[in-house]
Amino acid sequence: MMVCCGVLSAGVVGPNIPLVQTTEQQWKSVFDINVLGTASFIKAFAPGMVENHWGRIVTFASMAAKDGNPNLSIYSATKAAVVALTKSVGKELATSGVLVNAIAPAVIETPMNKNTSAEVLAHLTSLIPMKRIGKAEEVAELVAWLCSDKVSFSTGAVYDISGGRATY
């Protein structure tokens, strides 16, 4: 059996502005990367996994998909779309041997957040009961588990890694 796991971690935050100030082009740009990029990856790699009767696909959503973040309506909406996409494809492939699950992190110390203002990071950290930003290594451990053969009865699920921020 060929072991195959696809991890879709590419994403952009987009503008940090109120919804009424956003433009159609900003929506299209973030949607193209966060949603269409994820769908395109799945379309490209899932058929081979199905043919091999085994595969793991891990998408990246966000706590913003569940909670919505003020002034990040575009990002929040696109990550909610990734959740719905993951759930749909997880059900479509449920009997194929290919499992599709999502990870919804709270704020994680990554290059994506290097330009995030100190005030925004402080606000996001204040929402986390552990009172700290997550580490990429912590997320990597969850990814490794979801890509393993130890996971056999989970598809279309969303795994929070939020330091306690998740409320549902």
Catalytic sites, residue numbers? 75
Can you tell me the distance from the alpha carbon of 151 to that of 118, in angstroms, rounded to the nearest whole number?
38
Can you tell me the distance from the alpha carbon of 33 to that of 79, in angstroms, rounded to the nearest whole number?
11
Residue type, 3: V
Record the tokens describing residue 137, joined without a space: 């290594």
* 130 neighbors 105 (Cβ within 8 angstroms): no
